[in-house]
Structure 1
């Protein structure tokens, strides 16, 4: 088998659109999907904005038997898996029994499902708690339900590294391919817009308290005061290139050519964060120098301290204004593990089209960051992209992508 990992299918369920083409069109338009929370009454909370997936009706996509046993997040993941496999023209039933694996990442699990069942427990008694509570809340549930739905019996995995998880799932899938597995479905769909999940988000102390959607999430801006959470993400079909050609695949979105992950030192240690090390290691893995990268999809935490740390890493690696930097997640909010997986899908579409999507709502970028921040769609020759992600607790991940040619 070859060492090249190609992406042959995309399944996107995002605040910016259902399906990757709708997501891409809205992203290029700079159409922000951040708005007031509708999935529960957030009036009593200090933060009330989110990036919610509009128009998602699971009963239109999934059999009715699955609805009582799945959380909203898992339903989105199942639909994303359907779309990714269809986009890659893969029929799971035609594969060898152990021919395809599944690796997903999540941070919250099925919090909305769990919240509802806890209400039933305390309000109505244990007889009213669903038997599906035993697994529907669990962070690994998407891997399990996707593998069952499609009969995928190859190696499976679930990772919990918050926002970095979407990249880490792809890194794990790439390792599986290099060990001889021909095909893996990987990525992340995440998010928990429910009271239980909201309290978990608020506990970070980093959520924006703004009520204006256009002012709430402005990474690298002079007015940055936190982030807005969201829901959704992307699942991708990853294949060994030789295996893809052997099954008759004639096109792919691009290649994953580099991946690395690092962990930050303990708080108070006086040692710097390790995002820069992750980026350098991913470039080394790809066999590229900084000059080989045409665009960076930033983690874009949205807080002054974290934005400054990322800007410093990019300045050290590429030089001041050394590479175009974008953060299209300003249109969706931070989707936990789903956010970085969606960034990879968006970056692959950018490589395909030769257009860098914009960072929205950042009207006053901090000049001290010395970033070439892309705030309007920009046409450019794009051969390689670097995607960065950081997860709460000190996780750093980086992926290098190249285009389809």
Structure 2
């Protein structure tokens, strides 16, 4: 059995577990007008931004100029997760230390700055590190080098589903012989060029009010707000964690599944419901055993309706409490689902479901028991986390509370 023994969080609503969890339970939001650049000419001007983050506090000085903000977030999350787990990597054979991360936007901010230097000062102004810093796999590579993670390494690029897919892949590597895995996802998509790419999907909200811009399952839903950050976790086999005397086990990964939607116009519908059922089958539990669902919550009427139909098909109308705490952070792409897993594990430990900030009136075609304005006290034995990525990716993970 695979367990999670350490967590590290970098989010618009807090850096570190304590700050993030307190603001999440309070229903506070980190969504505001974009400050990393002037968004005046953009139809979307809001985002969930990580403030008070000093990369130099988490990243070796020689690597600061070689890496993008997405990698800085991952270094911070990894440092926090290793400390939280009480892990000394020297106790593990270096070829049995795995690292699998997810990323969606790449190091776009780094790349854009280097291109601007080229156009203003010529090609000799461009850093040699641009060749790697922009790449999706840069985070996995840098973590592998810095921490001596020389076992199985991987990178998942399935947009919002990536955080769950990375966890599923890390679980597979532990089953194949790795003894410890650093996994999760981070993204830093708040640069001018990256925002242009995101706007092309047509899914971003144009609402100017931060409290009304991202409202999944609400009758006013009009798109989502992007966010930056993510979560990194330490995964181990249960027996290895027990052998080393791990002080804390947050929970177990007992089920995982992924599906891919058919092409539009094929006559076949989305497959999120199938991913959920496969994950439940993998966990060997029935729908009635799930105590809470952390939904994908895209925030567009059509996609919300499709997810509501999938959840209703599996659990029945109003059949299980549902929450979307990412309405306080924005959709963080590959960092979002990983953060949902961390949030679900914290919810299990405190027997409380965090609220879905700002959502007021549910859309009539979404018959869900959505936890809205206040946290809901609830014993949580099993939790389901769902995620969907642009392009047809679906993933589901079932978590079980530590025994």
Q: TM-score, normalised by structure 1?
A: 0.98
Secondary structure in structure 2 of the residue aligned to 1:273: coil
CA contact (8 A) 2:290 2:384 kept: yes
What is the distance in 1 between the residues matched to 2:143 and 2:177?
A: 21
What is the distance in 1 between the residues matched to 2:262 and 2:55?
A: 42
CA contact (8 A) 2:272 2:307 kept: yes
Residue among 69, 77, 81 paired with 2:78? 81
Give the deviation of 1:16 after TM superposition. 1.2
Structure 2 equivalent of residue 383 of structure 1: 381
Give the deviation of 1:229 after TM superposition. 0.2
What is the distance in 2 between the residues matched to 1:77 and 1:400?
A: 24
Q: Indicate the larger mover: 141-150 or 159-168.
A: 141-150
Secondary structure in structure 2 of the residue aligned to 1:258: strand
Residue among 153, 165, 190 paired with 2:162? 165
Structure 1 equivalent of residue 237 of structure 2: 240
**Which aligned pairs between 1:81-100 and structure 2 lie closer than 5 A?**
81-100=78-97
Give the deviation of 1:250 after TM superposition. 3.4
What is the distance in 1 between the residues matched to 2:170 and 2:18?
A: 24
**Which aligned pairs between 1:129-144 and structure 2 lie closer than 5 A?**
129-144=126-141
Residue among 257, 260, 270 paired with 1:260? 257
Q: Unaligned 5+ residue runs, structure 2?
A: none
Q: Deviations 1:29-57 (Å, cap 9, x if unpaired)?
A: 00100000011111111110000011101
Is structure 2 residue 331 aligned with structure 1 residue 334?
A: yes
CA contact (8 A) 1:191 1:336 kept: no
CA contact (8 A) 1:321 1:370 kept: yes
Structure 2 equivalent of residue 16 of structure 1: 13
Residue among 358, 362, 370 paired with 2:359? 362
Give the deviation of 1:191 after TM superposition. 2.7
**Which aligned pairs between 1:48-197 and structure 2 lie closer than 5 A?**
48-197=45-194
Structure 2 equivalent of residue 394 of structure 1: 392
Structure 2 equivalent of residue 44 of structure 1: 41
**Which aligned pairs between 1:283-298 and structure 2 lie closer than 5 A?**
283-298=280-295
Secondary structure in structure 2 of the residue aligned to 1:227: coil
Structure 2 equivalent of residue 322 of structure 1: 319
Secondary structure in structure 1 of the residue aligned to 2:297: coil
Give the deviation of 1:97 after TM superposition. 2.0
Q: Which segments of structure 1 move beyond 6 Å, counting only runs of 4 or more?
A: none
What is the distance in 2 between the residues matched to 1:244 and 1:360?
A: 36
What is the distance in 2 between the residues matched to 1:167 and 1:287?
A: 19
Q: Deviations 1:72-113 (Å, cap 9, x if unpaired)?
A: 111111111111111111112332121211000101111000
Give the deviation of 1:323 after TM superposition. 0.1
What is the distance in 2 between the residues matched to 1:210 and 1:97?
A: 49
What is the distance in 1 between the residues matched to 2:146 and 2:217?
A: 41
Structure 1 equivalent of residue 297 of structure 2: 300
Q: CA RMSD in A?
A: 0.8
Q: Unaligned 5+ residue runs, structure 1?
A: none
Give the deviation of 1:381 after TM superposition. 1.2
CA contact (8 A) 1:254 1:402 kept: yes
Q: TM-score, normalised by structure 2?
A: 0.99
